Structure 1
């Protein structure tokens, strides 16, 4: 039992190191002698009518002066374009382009991002999802951080406001994975491609480097193009920085429990390299680390055995620190055992769909 408890102490210390090591967006100090580089904000949209008002409003509120925003309407069948025209209302900084027919061998979002990059004029490209909201000084602080760290690609996991019960259980686990298991110091200072994490909702890229590595075309068939693009940058010896952007960027990922389930089912097995072994190992570990401490805790309460009580307390404290760093809801950390169970179910569901060659449905398109 002592060794079991030592595992929790080690994981807690690793999490604290990762929280401290992950850079936050820096304060911007403009140089009056140096012109501001042009930043192109690039947004792929497919049936995003519910998100149009929020994202356009937040971009209009940005204080960075030298920007353009290019939006690709990816053959939407809802009121996306109508809503865009209404919210943009003639603002010359915005351009709407029509998405071309999806080409064979491409994933829809990757194809859209590729078209957006071709239409961009900026020195820097900021790929954001339509469900994102940006604070007013996001561009200044992101640019300053990228320049200070010499990052060719700066990315981060946004703050995730959650509404539905399944979203609350699953979506914040993205921060848990990054802060608990990714060696942030190694990921940010080393060009080892395996030590990479990225989030497609916020990808700030130096255009010159983006074009040199082949851009989205180089990862055209990927369902987790953000991670594969980050790995590609590292393989080409360019610096990738994972930053804590939760103070500036929020992402409203899903509206319904069905969207949550399908969204994670689409990405999770692919993100694990389509490895059944990885699913089994992670399921066993999550059961031991996040679920088993609860019955031990209950037994410890009745027997007065502190060694049985401590693992659960340490695990919850670890999750509390992560949620605080990610600006997540106050008491959500208490649901960690239930979150782990749902994640295990999702991993196995995603793996079974892959093995049965059922593929995945997303945004009205089918992917294998």
Structure 2
């Protein structure tokens, strides 16, 4: 029985490797061959939500402010921080020569996630022709923004999501990131992302969601996403439902973030949203995801003694596809060789998130507990 499980796992891994071979090639890079910046870049509002970002936000903001156009504004929404974030932002705003605009939030209304509410408040005061929603720890070059604005205007796009370069200090977290890239590629084809008829499938990226203001204003906006834990992904869906033409690309330069410093930080950071985003707050779905990812990662080992060639072929195919994918994305290939190990850890993260939700009967985010039944009712994203 156990060798049979191993053989089935090998077949599944071979099938996934074949699908990944085509899906990864669909992921396009931004930065290799792009248009020259526009002579007169359109006005832009960069909107950032910040909560307890005292240790990360200053270098990111200084990098952005150092290369701004006169008609760009940077709006930072300080959301009830308990550290020194507010004082730091007030000092930066005072020294910014009006490039940095600060919005302060002291109370969170009922029925809102803190980050979603903060982005909503920022969008209400934004005045640019384009809105760039980003995170507090994202490092963005002004030159990259100019080229993306030229790209969306010349391609007549309404929404552009860019995947950043994910910086991390440990090899194990790089392996998990490689696994996340594989899961993303498997779950989302370019054709499906761009098909206007696929109104239940859209993609956004928290690091870089560039939205045309006119289309964003006619979308359901953040009020529709008020209790959506995967707000960045769901923003892409909201734009698509409003008729936006959009693209998802991988930035080869000018956009980077230290996603999580280590594996423990990744577990803590994804505890709040893995259960909802991946499993729709369903414990049977979570169990299926954990078992499926574990079999994907370790299942072929069940037949390593009886069918060693099948086991080698399964893992070898994933390693080969990982190598090709890393070369295509211009990333370090070594972590992609070990992506199956990352699948196992993703399963553990989902299990940890589901266990935390079951233990509390709620999801805890930014110091607030959110009832699971209410989150289920208000969830809009279906991965």
Give me the TM-score of the superposition, normalised by structure 2. 0.83
Matched, 1:203 2:209: yes
One of 341, 344, 348 as aligned partner of 1:338: 341
Match of 1:283 in 2: 290
Aligned counterparts of 2:155 and 2:285: Cα–Cα separation in 1: 33
Unaligned runs of 5+ in 2: 1-5, 372-383
Unaligned runs of 5+ in 1: none
Q: 1:75 to 1:280 in 2, by over 3 A?
A: closer
Q: Is the 8 A contact 2:204 2:237 kept in 1?
A: no
Aligned counterparts of 2:84 and 2:293: Cα–Cα separation in 1: 42
Match of 1:115 in 2: 121
Size of the aligned set, in residue pairs, is: 362
Aligned counterparts of 1:348 and 1:79: Cα–Cα separation in 2: 33
Aligned counterparts of 1:327 and 1:220: Cα–Cα separation in 2: 36
Match of 1:29 in 2: 36
Give the match's secondary structure for 1:137. helix
Cα distance, 1:169 vs. partner? Answer: 4.7
Cα distance, 1:79 vs. partner? Answer: 1.8
Match of 1:238 in 2: 244
Match of 2:22 in 1: 17
Residues 64-90 of structure 1: per-residue CA shift (max 9 Å, x gap): 553111111112222223333455523
Q: Is the 8 A contact 2:26 2:189 kept in 1?
A: no
Cα distance, 1:31 vs. partner? Answer: 4.8
Q: Which moved more, 1:239-248 or 1:196-205?
A: 239-248
Cα distance, 1:325 vs. partner? Answer: 4.5
Matched, 1:139 2:145: yes
Aligned counterparts of 2:123 and 2:55: Cα–Cα separation in 1: 24
Cα distance, 1:347 vs. partner? Answer: 1.4
Q: 1:83 to 1:356 in 2, by over 3 A?
A: closer
Q: Is the 8 A contact 1:156 1:245 kept in 2?
A: yes
Matched, 1:40 2:45: yes
Alignment of 1:262-277 (within 5 A): 262-272=268-278, 273-277=280-284
Q: 1:258 to 1:92 in 2, by over 3 A?
A: same
Q: Is the 8 A contact 2:162 2:251 kept in 1?
A: yes
Alignment of 1:248-327 (within 5 A): 248-255=254-261, 257-272=263-278, 273-294=280-301, 296=303, 299=305, 305-327=308-330
Q: 1:365 to 1:256 in 2, by over 3 A?
A: farther
Q: Which moved more, 1:262-271 or 1:143-152?
A: 143-152
CA-atom RMSD in angstroms: 2.8
Aligned counterparts of 2:363 and 2:269: Cα–Cα separation in 1: 9
Give me the TM-score of the superposition, normalised by structure 1. 0.86
Alignment of 1:13-162 (within 5 A): 13-25=18-30, 27-32=34-39, 35-62=40-67, 64=69, 66-87=71-92, 89-162=95-168
Q: Is the 8 A contact 1:49 1:83 kept in 2?
A: yes
Aligned counterparts of 1:22 and 1:166: Cα–Cα separation in 2: 24
Q: Is the 8 A contact 2:92 2:100 kept in 1?
A: no
Match of 2:356 in 1: 353
